[in-house]
Structure 1
Amino acid sequence: MTDYSSTAFEAAYIRKPVVYYQFDHSDFFSSNHGYRPGYFDYTANGFGPVAQMQDQVLDAIEKALEGNEDPVYAQRRESFFAFRDGRCCERVYQEISRLLPDNG
């Protein structure tokens, strides 16, 4: 369970259910908060249901634990990441190395 945190991406990457508990949704998305919506819409793109009330989050967690979550979330988790081959760190290292001046 998370609110707006990027930890949902880590959970999704390892194929774990996600539940967003956004109890402060109206405050968080108000102009007074400082957050600016970006490309990622939690309802349209999220890896799990978005709950705003305590009973909703408890119900969503229960469904996830029982394996009864909406299959759309498992499909989103599965299709979101381009690579799951254990070589992500290697690719990042290679790309960073290309940016560094040649010291050799």
Structure 2
Amino acid sequence: MKRILTIALMLVTLTVCMSAKEPSQATAVFTVMPKMSCQNCENKIKSNLRFEKGVKSIETSLTGQTVTVKYNPKKTNVEAIQKGFAKIGYAATEVTECDDSQNTPAEKK
């Protein structure tokens, strides 16, 4: 009986460890051209991009001119999402890192 419980516990632990290593959700931030200028631009992106395979959620920012996409990396990737943008007339570029040095006031440096 102890062996059966030990084996079952090991299988459960192994399953949990394996699932923790595989990310179920990834996030990518994009800038788009032409720039979003109104709520209709945001709505166009949100309503069309949500049909791309693997896309979980879409957040847009007019002030920051960014589109944040949460997606399942098992089903899609950044290149496929960029092709989804192209279908609706936008060229999307992934923002890979944020350079805060230009936005920092001189007294904080």
More helix by share: 1
TM-score by length of 2: 0.25
Q: Which structure is larger by alpha-carbon Rg, 1 or 2?
A: 2
Greater fraction strand: 2
Which TM-score applies when normalising by structure 1?
A: 0.26
